Amino acid sequence: MSDIIQLLPDHVANQIAAGEVVQRPASVVKELLENAVDAKAKVISLVIKEAGRMLIQVIDDGLGMSQTDCRMAFERHATSKIRTADDLFNLHSNGFRGEALASIAAVAHVSIKTKQDNQEIGSQLVIHGGHVQSQEPIYTQKGTNIEVKNLFYNIPARRNFLKSNTIETRHIIDVFQRIALTYPHLSFSLTHNDQEIYNLKSANLKKRLVHVFGKQIDEKLIPINESTEIIKISGFVTKPSYAKKKRGEQFFFVNDRYIKSQYLDHAVHLAFENLIPSGEHPSYFLYLEVPPQSIDINIHPTKTEIKFDNEKDLYAILRATIKHSLGQYNAAPILDFNRDSNLDTPYHYQNKSIKAPSIQVDRNFNPFSNQTNVPSKKISSDWESLYIDTKREKEQERIKHIEFEYENVTQHLFDKKEQVYFKTYQLHEKYIVSAIQSGLVLIDQNAAHQRILYEDFLAKITIDGLGSQSLLFPKLIQITAADSALIQEIQSDLESSGFHFTLKKDGKLFADSIPAHIKVEQLGDFVDQLINDLKSDHPNSNISQIDTIAKSMAKSCSIKKGIKLSNKEQEDILNKLFLCKEPNYSPFGKKTYITISTTFVEEEFDS
């Protein structure tokens, strides 16, 4: 039998490796930005077009590369970061495997221009699908300028699995934010489709947070600072009153590297125990410094998960540090929280001795002295009058004329025409209960109302139009620059839905008119909900943004749990739900109702 095992060609091996390293445009952005940081750049610019599908360009003023290094950088496992296996446990840089550039070049059209400071002429290299097209000298500025075009052009299946431009842009912005927060002393800029989203100058951490997330975050921050032999912790957490129901602003950085850690995240949540409602999440931006040899960052292809040697110690220190800061800045209650300063001892009385109060007794006082002259016979007669009526004859006469109507009253109580019957019943102000032929139905009032509103909004947007109501004064809503880019992506769809607004560069959104079915006070909740839905990878998000808008409107305008409903409102939800095309589930896939059969109830009682 002939041999069947053979080595794969390099370009095929690189395409396979690219499946681990390059999952989406954001993966390319991460690798290129980290390379620019490792090259000791001070100013880094990111330019993308069509959410990175058409172009990802990173320009830096770093060290640059020689002509030979420029070519070697695109070979697999070629790196300047490590020499031996021991170096893996003493890393001070981001990229170190030497796979990133080779993997990127295998699935895109790549062009790189680079020059070192001591060179007069730089080098330009062009690679298409892993094959070198040309390399030649070129005049260029110091640093590196790399362009990645037509990502996944040679792997159509991978390109088809990409989400909508809005979602892919969101992932790119997330990567950009993480790196910008990791290195606040460096300058970063981000331009998408010729529109500048971020222009971050070198600053301290607090200013960088304000520039990334908006001015409104400034008043929410509580500083964290602790140093021990095994760990140094710095950064910020937000006050408990600003906890959010959605995740999104939770950042851990270990030795200048963004990581994800459910274990450490649990320590943070435990520090906020009893300070925030269940189901809400605090925002935090925490920077941990540990000895490099105490962690292993080579356990995951994306290097966002690491292994600690002393997890339990870090957990305890992190939790205690945050609890201490919350108490220090009065974000958590302390022992004398309810102390009344009015009860403090005045200063001029503090050194005086305490004197016992004097007591005077009037030994001649007789509490019964006022009644000594009252005849006992009169007192007795007065008491007896309370129980005895001397005019018995008159009482007996009145008794004769009393009429009893108990028969008529009894008939009235059981008159069927006067019975009050309710078709529905509200349970714990969360669920609507109603009898059906086969048993009982329990309806989630929030999920059911979402389904009703969603189908109503969607039909009106696509067929009749929702109609707009002009606002006398524009409504201001403050959002971040990144969220502003998301809203701008779907501005035409929002206008079709009845929203008309103006977006400013600083993240201020001025709404001039809103749909007739939304109240002004609901607008802020709707914008927050819409942004969260745009950030999520909902299966239908890449089909229609009108659908996402209708879902967000339905969720923000629906009746919430804990709201008491009249019987008319309960019956209205019950009737409208079962007239929907898809009554079984909310627009977000949650059950709207469950049924309990009469057979099940009977079996429970008979068992």
The pLDDT tens digits for 99-112 are: 788 889 989 999 99
Q: What residues does 307 pair with on adjacent strands?
A: 296
Compute CA 415 distance to the chain's CA centroid, rounded to the nearest angstrom.
57
Q: How far is it, in rounded angstroms, from Cα 578 to Cα 584?
A: 9
CA distance linking residue 363 with residue 263, whole number of Å:
77
What pTM was estimated for this model as a whole? 0.68
Confidence (pLDDT) at 460: 83
Examine the pLDDT at 498 and tell me if it is beyond 70. Answer: yes
Q: Which two tokens stand for residue 121?
A: 């002429």
Identify the burial level of 113 via C-beta atoms within 10 angstroms of its C-beta, where 0-12 means exposed, 13-18 middle and 19 or more buried: buried
Q: Is the pLDDT of residue 548 over 90?
A: no
**More confidently predicted of 252 and 96:** 252
Q: What is the tens place of the pLDDT at every residue in 136-154? A: 999 999 999 999 999 999 8
Tell me the pLDDT band of 327, cut-offs 50, 70 and 90. Answer: confident
Provide the β-strand partners of residue 442.
433, 594
43-57 average pLDDT score: 95
pLDDT for res 337: 45
Indicate the pLDDT class of residue 12, thresholds 50, 70 and 90: low
Specify the residue for token string 């008939």.
411
The amino acid occupying position 498 is: G
Locate 238 and state its tokens. Answer: 């937000």
Most confident of 83-87, 192-196, 339-343: 192-196
Alpha-carbon gap, residue 98 to 442, rounded angstroms: 58
* Per-residue confidence (pLDDT) for residue 491, from 0 to 100: 83
pLDDT value for 393: 55
* Residue 237 reports pLDDT greater than 90: yes
Please, what is the Cα angle at 154 between 302 and 78, to 5 degrees? Answer: 45
Label residue 593 by pLDDT band (50, 70, 90): very high
Least confident window among 195-204, 467-476, 500-509, 566-575: 500-509
DSSP 425-464: EEETTTEEEEEETTEEEEEEHHHHHHHHHHHHHHHIIIII
Residue ranges and CATH numbers for the domains of the chain are: 10-200 (3.30.565.10), 209-328 (3.30.230.10), 431-595 (3.30.1370.100)
Can you read off the two tokens belonging to residue 284? 């935090």
8 Å CB contact between 98 and 74 = no
* DSSP 8-state secondary structure symbol assigned to residue 138: E
Q: Sorting pLDDT into bands at 50, 70 and 90, what band is 285?
A: very high
**For residue 336, pLDDT beyond 50:** no
Task: Give the C-alpha separation, 487 to 477, whole Å.
Answer: 12
